[in-house]
Every structure is written in structure tokens, then in C-alpha cells.
């Protein structure tokens, strides 16, 4: 079976020979674009003349774009920092394919192709042939054009992805593009461009509908304000004026066309709903089909509802339903902190695309909980598989990850093993403690991330695996790259969307977090405000994991499952004392001393050390790395020389 590159090369050869291009060689959108270019009389072997608008006309278009251009400019900055690698450019164009603004790194901006993508340049398909901006404008949908898929041969070194931006009425008002050299292409660039375009659209929706009430809608409260939420604009009479695509999906089966009345969609009189909304800008509402939705007022200062009108509204009926809190009752963690809200929005959007997510955070801060949350919101039906990269012996890591055929090595199961990655097919794969992965295994993981294909150890064929890839660490991976302990190209693949969980001590929702943790331990237990205030004074190096330990110990000291400040103070004092006693001669230090002693006795050979102590090579490797001791293990010479430096003596 031909690869996509081989198929494109054959199609390109036919195109330039003016022969018929078989439809099976190209994606449908590329084939259709090439045909439009031929119909326009373009020659694929020629060099197009890209027209550039004069400064006054360019300025007129920028100023005439209304709110969309300022919104796009802000989003371009975010997208620029999200796309990893070098030699790339972000561009925003109007609906005609005229570039209004660009943001580029120096390398791509100085290249011959980069210099052509300048402000005022016109990239309509009829002039520039098949290209992301022009083709997305012609199709009015997102597209990625890679290398030889461009109609003109001169653009073969470029890979570009573009997504349309639509106003509240669904009319295309702009295009967002990311272009790079083919060698720097990232597989999830289009997904990030689409996310950014949706952010622009949502901002535009609120601004264009500012004279109406704009509602955010989602089945779960914590996703209000994210790009996964729908948006509906309703006037003072309860008539729907606009609804975005996401709202139509969430309310499938219900009519949302402009002119539809609120009460045809939702089971509540509009004036009564407004009264509730004025009293609480986040609430729950049931639609005409019986489904419950969380609702947020996206523009509570909307012009149509004056303060006098608000006072004239009927008083809302008291509602005992507590679901209007920030997180629903069945949530798997607390997220009332604004910083965490922003993280959830980013993770939610990335998980639904899907795009790889790199989760930073201190030990115990909830990295795996956030990863499980990403899996839950992704809508994936496969399994969530978490792999601790520090726990699997190095020599077995590749077989554990990618699986193995029967008889692939001594001790292999007679029927083989599909591997952990295959077990996550259709689901989510979490690579925890990713910084602990040895360099030579990083290369194997990188190959999988590049093509999403798995070949078992000892196997001859590979198969494609569909997984959402998440990675978690408490290490600074950029520092690890600088120290040559982590591959830069692997970091670029994982670091498409990056989030950093705040430590427990820095969270504004500490009280809610403490009460939530206590409910998870004992749903009938209580804790006083003074006790929580005392907990706040602690620095929580172990974060939630340590909080659960402290609360459990306090409960054991409470005969009636009611924790007070004195019990908390006693437990925290004991905790501090235990830490002081254990520190000078901890078990870990004794283990490290024993491992390093045998390591030196064996002349710095990791394999022999592991064999003598009957422990995994990864364990030896970790102690050696922490001590910064050089190794002479011949099987690891290349990687260890780059990973370790000798201990410097004073």
C-alpha cells in the first residue's frame, strides 16, 4: 500500500505532465482544489505572482474588519507560543484571503517563502493555487496542505494549516493560518489552529450580540466558558437571535434558528428564567426534550437589560438544587480556583480535538486526576491507561509499551502480549513521570508519536493506534533538554498543549478542596472552619496526597468523626517531628548508599549492579542520575555520557 507521500508524488507527476490525476491518489479536498486551479488556467510549473495591497488599502481592510481583527491578533499571540519547534509563521487573513497580520519567527520570516506571506499579500486560490488560506476560503472549512499537495511546485517546502473564522450569523469573516517548513511540521497544528479560531469566534459572538443576553450552555458546569460550551443570544422578548455550532450540537433535535422563541427550546417561562439569571448568573435549565444543562450568563452587563428592568422582573423562586456550584456534585475533583478553571478549559478543548497535553505539577498536585478528567471529557470509549515511566524496568519497557510476539524473548508469554499502548486504543494514554524515561527509549516513543503505529517486539507488521496522548512530570523538561537528559524533539511532540497545576498551598479554593478531600475519606465526617484555617498554615509539600494523609490521621484521633483545630494542630506537629527525625537517615538514603557502593565496586556498570542487587536497571539508573555519577556500562555509553557529569569535589 502506498504511503500518502508516495501517492502525492505520483499525483504531482501526473499533474505536471498534464495527465489525468487518479482521484484515489489525493484527499478529496486537494483533488477538488487542483481541478479548480486547472479550470482557472493556472500552470503548476510556473511561479505565481502574489499581489500585495498598497498600505492605505491594507489599513482600510484592517479597520473595516470590526472586532474580528483585534480578537485575532490576541489569539495569534497565544497560538504562536503554543506551536512548538522553529521556522513557522502565524497569519490572519480576511475572507478574501488577504493577509491582515502575521507573526513569525526570524528563520521562517527570512526564508524565500516566508517573505511572500506578508501583510497585504493576496492568497486566493485563483491566484496562489492550492494553499491553506486560499483553499480554506474556497471550501469555507478547515484544511491542511502539506508539501507537494500545493498546486504550484515552488511551495513544496511548506506545510500550512488554516481554519475559517465565522461571525455570530455563520458568515466567514476571516481565516487563521499556521505555516512552517515541512521538516518543522507538527501533526496537531491544524487542531491548534481550529481551537484558536473557535476562541476568536466566541469572542466575536459576545461582542456582536452585546445588545442581547448571551448564554453559555454545557451539560457540566465546569466547562462553561470553554470552547466546548455552546452560545445562544436571546433578545428581551425571548426570541433567539443567534446560536453557534456547538450549541446546535448540544441541543440536537431542537430548533435554534433565529426567530425561535426561548420557550420552544426550554421548559421555563422566559421572564421567570431571567429572574433566576439575574439572581444567580450560573444555574441549571431543562430543555424541551428533558435534558438538563448548566447555563452561564456570558455578558451580564448586556445593554438591553437596564437596572430598572432587572428590578421589575419577578423575584426568583428559591431553588434547593445545589448544582449551581462551580463543580457538579459527582465531579472527581474541586476546581473553584480561577487558575484551575482556565486549565480545565484548555484541557477540555485539547482532549476533544484531540491534541497531546503535557501536565506539569508538584508531587500529589493531581496530575493523574486531571488526566483522567481529560479522558472523561474527550468522549473516547476506549480505556484510560496510565504508565509510570519510572516503574517499568528499562529492558522490558519497549515490550510493555508496544507488546511482543510469542517467543520474542526469554520469558515471553506463549501467546505474546498486545502491549499497554494497544490497550489504550480508542482511549487515553498517560505517560506519567515522563522525565524518567531513558534516552534510547525516548526515541522509540517518539517514533510512535510521529506515526501513531505500533509494531510488537519480534513482530513484522505494525498497526495504527488511536490514542489521546497525555504526559505528566514534576521535572522541568526544558532544563532536562538543556542538560541533554531529554530529547528536544520528543518535548516538541508532547508539548502541544501545556498546563501547570498550581500547588495546594497556592490555591484560592483551599477550603473547598479540604472539605472535598474529607468527604472522599468519610462522607459523614465534618471539619470546623478553625481546623481548615490551621491546615492553611501548612506548606503542603505533598499536596493533596499529604492532605488526605493528615485528614485521615485527624479522623482517627476524633471519636465522633468531627475534626477540630486542636486535632489538626496535633497531627501537623507530629508530621513535622517525624520529618525531622527521618531526614538524616531515611530509608531512601540508605538504599541510595547501598546501590552507589555496588555501582562503584562494579566499575560503574549498571547491568552488573542491578544483577548483584536483584533490582531493576531503572532503579540503579535513577540513583546514579540523582547522584550525577558517570557510568562505564558499555550498553549505555552513548546515552550516559550525555546524561551524567562527574561529581565535582570542593
How far is 209 from 299, CA to CA, in rounded Å?
A: 9
Cβ(147)–Cβ(158) below 8 Å: yes
Tell me the H-state helices in 360-468: 367-378, 394-402, 420-423, 439-451
Nearest to 189 by CA among 110, 87, 277: 87
Nearest to 353 by CA among 200, 223, 196: 196
- The SS3 call for residue 287 is strand
Within the chain, all domains assigned CATH 3.40.50.300 are found at 338-500
**What are the phi and psi torsion angles at 399 (to 5°)?**
-70, -40
Tell me the H-state helices in 111-261: 112-116, 125-128, 132-139, 189-208, 245-250
Cβ(94)–Cβ(167) below 8 Å: no
pLDDT band at 371 (very low <50, low <70, confident <90, very high): very high
**Topology annotation, domain 55-188:** Beta-Lactamase (3.30.450)
pLDDT band at 63 (very low <50, low <70, confident <90, very high): confident
Cβ(126)–Cβ(89) below 8 Å: no
- CATH code of the region 587-627: 1.10.10
Q: What share of the chain is helix, strand, coil (3-state, %, to 5)?
A: 45, 15, 35
Within the chain, all domains assigned CATH 1.10.10 are found at 587-627
User: Hey, CA dihedral for 134, 137, 139, 144, is it positive or negative?
Assistant: positive
pLDDT of residue 462: 78
Residue with C-alpha cell 488526605? 548
Q: What architecture is domain 338-500?
A: 3-Layer(aba) Sandwich (3.40)
Nearest to 43 by CA among 166, 159, 153: 153
218, HSE (Cβ side, Cα atoms, 13 Å): 23
Q: Work out the average pLDDT over 527-554.
A: 90
Cβ(326)–Cβ(281) below 8 Å: no
Q: Work out the average pLDDT over 32-41.
A: 94
pLDDT band at 85 (very low <50, low <70, confident <90, very high): low
The separation between CA 349 and the C-alpha centre of its own chain, rounded to angstroms, equals 7
The set of residues, in sequence order, having a beta carbon less than 8 Å from that of 99 and lying 6+ positions away, is 91, 92, 93, 117, 118, 119, 120, 121, 122, 123, 133
**What are the phi and psi torsion angles at 101 (to 5°)?**
-160, 150
CA 198, 201, 202 angle in degrees (round to 5)?
90
The DSSP letter of residue 404 is B
Nearest to 128 by CA among 89, 87, 163, 158: 158
How far is 394 from 607, CA to CA, in rounded Å?
A: 11
pLDDT of residue 145: 94
Strands (E), 204-341: 213-218, 230-234, 240-243, 282-286, 292-297
- For residue range 448-469, what is the model confidence (pLDDT) as tens digits? 887 778 888 777 777 888 899 9
Q: What architecture is domain 504-581?
A: Orthogonal Bundle (1.10)
Q: Which of 265-274, 344-353, 517-526, 598-607 has the lowest mean pLDDT?
A: 598-607
How much is the mean pLDDT over the chain? Answer: 81
- For residue range 252-300, what is the model confidence (pLDDT) as tens digits? 889 999 999 999 999 999 999 988 888 776 789 999 888 889 998 888 7
Task: Count Cβ atoms below 10 Å from residue 608 Cβ, excluding itself.
Answer: 16
| Residues of the chain above pLDDT 90, percent | 33
Cβ(71)–Cβ(200) below 8 Å: yes
Predicted TM-score of the model (pTM) = 0.53
pLDDT band at 570 (very low <50, low <70, confident <90, very high): confident
pLDDT band at 589 (very low <50, low <70, confident <90, very high): low
Within the chain, all domains assigned CATH 3.30.450.40 are found at 55-188
How far is 67 from 200, CA to CA, in rounded Å?
A: 10
Strands 357-360, 497-500: pairing kind: parallel
Cβ(93)–Cβ(133) below 8 Å: yes
Going from the C-alpha of 105 to that of each of 62, 110, 118, 389, 612, the distances in angstroms are: 22, 9, 13, 34, 52
Amino acid at each position: 500500500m502506498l504511503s500518502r507521500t508516495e501517492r502525492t508524488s505520483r499525483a504531482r507527476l501526473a499533474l505536471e505532465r498534464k495527465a489525468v490525476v487518479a482521484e484515489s491518489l489525493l484527499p478529496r479536498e486537494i483533488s477538488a482544489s487542483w481541478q479548480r486551479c486547472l479550470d482557472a488556467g493556472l500552470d503548476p510549473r510556473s511561479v505565481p505572482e502574489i499581489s500585495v495591497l498598497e498600505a492605505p488599502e491594507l489599513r482600510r481592510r484592517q479597520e473595516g474588519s470590526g472586532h474580528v481583527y483585534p480578537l485575532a491578533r490576541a489569539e495569534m499571540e497565544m497560538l504562536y507560543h503554543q506551536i512548538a519547534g522553529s521556522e513557522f509563521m502565524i497569519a490572519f487573513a480576511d475572507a478574501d484571503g488577504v493577509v491582515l497580520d502575521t507573526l513569525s519567527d526570524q528563520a521562517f520570516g527570512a526564508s524565500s517563502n516566508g517573505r511572500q506571506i506578508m501583510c497585504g499579500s493576496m492568497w486566493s486560490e485563483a491566484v496562489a493555487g492550492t494553499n491553506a488560506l486560499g483553499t480554506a476560503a474556497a471550501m469555507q472549512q478547515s484544511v491542511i496542505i502539506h508539501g507537494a499537495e500545493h498546486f504550484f511546485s515552488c511551495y513544496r517546502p511548506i506545510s500550512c494549516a488554516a481554519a475559517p473564522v465565522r461571525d455570530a450569523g455563520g458568515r466567514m469573516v476571516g481565516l487563521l493560518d499556521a505555516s512552517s517548513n515541512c521538516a518543522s511540521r507538527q501533526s496537531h497544528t491544524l487542531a491548534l489552529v481550529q481551537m484558536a479560531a473557535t476562541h476568536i469566534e466566541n469572542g466575536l459572538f459576545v461582542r456582536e450580540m452585546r445588545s442581547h443576553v448571551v448564554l453559555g450552555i454545557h451539560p457540566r458546569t465546569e466547562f462553561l466558558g470553554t470552547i466546548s460550551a455552546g452560545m445562544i443570544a436571546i433578545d428581551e422578548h425571548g426570541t433567539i437571535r443567534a446560536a453557534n455550532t456547538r450549541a446546535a450540537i448540544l441541543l440536537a433535535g431542537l430548533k435554534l434558528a433565529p426567530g425561535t422563541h426561548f420557550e420552544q427550546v426550554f421548559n421555563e417561562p422566559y421572564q421567570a428564567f431571567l429572574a433566576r439569571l439575574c439572581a444567580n448568573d450560573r444555574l441549571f435549565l431543562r430543555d424541551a426534550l428533558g435534558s438538563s444543562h448548566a447555563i452561564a450568563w456570558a455578558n451580564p452587563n448586556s445593554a438591553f437589560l437596564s437596572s430598572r428592568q432587572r428590578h421589575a422582573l419577578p423575584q426568583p423562586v428559591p431553588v434547593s438544587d445545589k448544582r449551581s456550584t462551580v463543580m457538579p456534585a459527582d465531579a472527581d475533583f474541586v476546581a473553584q480556583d480561577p487558575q484551575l478553571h482556565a486549565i480545565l478549559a484548555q484541557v477540555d478543548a485539547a482532549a476533544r480535538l484531540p491534541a497531546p497535553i503535557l501536565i506539569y505539577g508538584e508531587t500529589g498536585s493531581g496530575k493523574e486526576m486531571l488526566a483522567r478528567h481529560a479522558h472523561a471529557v474527550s468522549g473516547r470509549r476506549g480505556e484510560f491507561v496510565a504508565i509510570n515511566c519510572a516503574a517499568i524496568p528499562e529492558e522490558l519497557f519497549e515490550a510493555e509499551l508496544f507488546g511482543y510476539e510469542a517467543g520474542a524473548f526469554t520469558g515471553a508469554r506463549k501467546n505474546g502480549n498486545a502491549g499497554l499502548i494497544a490497550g489504550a486504543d480508542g482511549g487515553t494514554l498517560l505517560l506519567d513521570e515522563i522525565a524518567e524515561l531513558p534516552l534510547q527509549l525516548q526515541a522509540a516513543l517518539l517514533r510512535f508519536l510521529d506515526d501513531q503505529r505500533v509494531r510488537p517486539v519480534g513482530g513484522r507488521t505494525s498497526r495504527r493506534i488511536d490514542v489521546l496522548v497525555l504526559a505528566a512530570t514534576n521535572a522541568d523538561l526544558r532544563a532536562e533538554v538543556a542538560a541533554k537528559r531529554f530529547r528536544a524533539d520528543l518535548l516538541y511532540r508532547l508539548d502541544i498543549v501545556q498546563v501547570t497545576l498550581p500547588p495546594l498551598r497556592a490555591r484560592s479554593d483551599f477550603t473547598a478542596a479540604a472539605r472535598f478531600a474529607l468527604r472522599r475519606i468519610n462522607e459523614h465526617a465534618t471539619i470546623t472552619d478553625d481546623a481548615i484555617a490551621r491546615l492553611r498554615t501548612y506548606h503542603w509539600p505533598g499536596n493533596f496526597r499529604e492532605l488526605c494523609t493528615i485528614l485521615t490521621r485527624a479522623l482517627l484521633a476524633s471519636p465522633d468523626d468531627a475534626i477540630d483545630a486542636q486535632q489538626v494542630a496535633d497531627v501537623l506537629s507530629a508530621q513535622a517531628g517525624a520529618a525531622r527525625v527521618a531526614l538524616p537517615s531515611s530509608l531512601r538514603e540508605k538504599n541510595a548508599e547501598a546501590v552507589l557502593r555496588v555501582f562503584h565496586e562494579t566499575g560503574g556498570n549498571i547491568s552488573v549492579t542491578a544483577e548483584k542487587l536483584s533490582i531493576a536497571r531503572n532503579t540503579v539508573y535513577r540513583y546514579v542520575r540523582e547522584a550525577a555519577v558517570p557510568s562505564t556500562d558499555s550498553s549505555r555509553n552513548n546515552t550516559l555520557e550525555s546524561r551524567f557529569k562527574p561529581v565535582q569535589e570542593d
